[in-house]
Amino acid sequence: MHDVRDLIAAGPEAVRQLARRGHDLDLAALEDLRRRRTTAQQQAQALRTELKTRSKALGGHKGQAPSDTDREAVRTLRTRVQQAEEAERTAAGRLTEELLRIPNLPLDSVPEGRTEKEAVEIRRGGPEPAETPDPGRHHAEVGRRLGIFETERAVRLSGSRFHVSKGPGARLERALASFLLDLHTTRHGYTEYAVPYLVTRDTMTGTGQLPKFEEDLFATRVGERELFLIPTAEVPLTNLAAGRPLAADDLPLALTAHTPCFRSEAGSYGRDTRGVLRLHQFEKVELVRVCTPDTADEHLQLMIRHAETCLEQLGLSHRVVQLPAGDLGFSARITYDLEVWLPGSGAFREISSVSDCGTFQARRAGIHYRTRDGRRAPAVTLNGSALPIGRTVAALLEQGARPDGSVVLPDALVPYTGFREILPGGTTR
């Protein structure tokens, strides 16, 4: 969340930066809300001061009881204080509600543009991709031939956009999660966490999922409590740092978790209806880092390399692109996507997004640290997927498919799967 003073002080520059990402900032309306809050705060404070003075005078009568008129005046003033405090809460709430809906400011280095088509390619890695698409290598078709996907059963269980894998397919998914967690905890220095899959509204608000994206979330009630299924482990992992007495020497924090993720995919119907690219429930290994502002870019580049290392270890053809301002996520100030080549559709598709959120999430969630000179300051949060299990399986099936119908897996996975090939019919060797 933004500090309203900073936004208003930035003035036209804040308007310009937010316009780059398609958000129309109404500075006059924001200034009016701030003025209303300030006025309400001043009025409430003045009445509290007056009530304190009168109450003290009322109890200061020595040897005689205060008059009924004095008692009534204090009672009336106490009512006015309650009304003023309610007005203060209302004014503050309206300002906070407006601030919570304003996205992060993009960095100047973020390229112009509104869509993923305007992303800037940074580099490529892995084998050179084929020029033309091969529909026979689409992962849904490969999975069907291998007998490891049971799409119809998933539909009967839960409806569209759900997935069932079996045998070597299920083992491959489990193996991938273990491989990725081992890579990040032993080589990249992350601490693994097991986190709740249901979180509170405040937790969702802290990372920017609420209030703007409520329609994309799955909500439920547990007794009297309202809880949300997590759309990504970024939500609980980032909030683990909230409210902690952090010092500069405690940073950076590096956290990882493997969790299911739940998304309604509102507005995406008709897109990627075949296969596992866009499901209501999927699994992912997530990375989160918390650092000081002066080291943010260093940690961003480090996280990109950590995600890219996963793809290199798996021998997958991929590329790194920088997203334009208009395609940034709500909380991000700069984002790099890693895209994997899918021969079945003849296109690069996102498999990881690595984002620097600046102090935006930290202000919302209350993630602060003590600087070395004793000041209390918001930290910088970063997040990235490394990697989503389903999309990685899709890439492995499509890039590893062979003319005889089998799929060859990368060497790095063999110790985790116990097999190197999946053959038609679901046998392995």
Whether 263 sits among the annotated catalytic residues: the reply is yes
| Residue in 350, 370, 420, 421 annotated catalytic | 350
Whether 34 sits among the annotated catalytic residues: the reply is no
Both tokens assigned to 217 = 């979330």
| Residue in 161, 289, 364, 391 annotated catalytic | 391
Whether 391 sits among the annotated catalytic residues: the reply is yes
| Residue in 161, 263, 319, 333 annotated catalytic | 263
Whether 141 sits among the annotated catalytic residues: the reply is no
| Residue in 278, 349, 370, 420 annotated catalytic | 278
Whether 5 sits among the annotated catalytic residues: the reply is no
| Residue in 331, 353, 355, 406 annotated catalytic | 353
Catalytic sites, residue numbers: 263, 278, 350, 353, 391
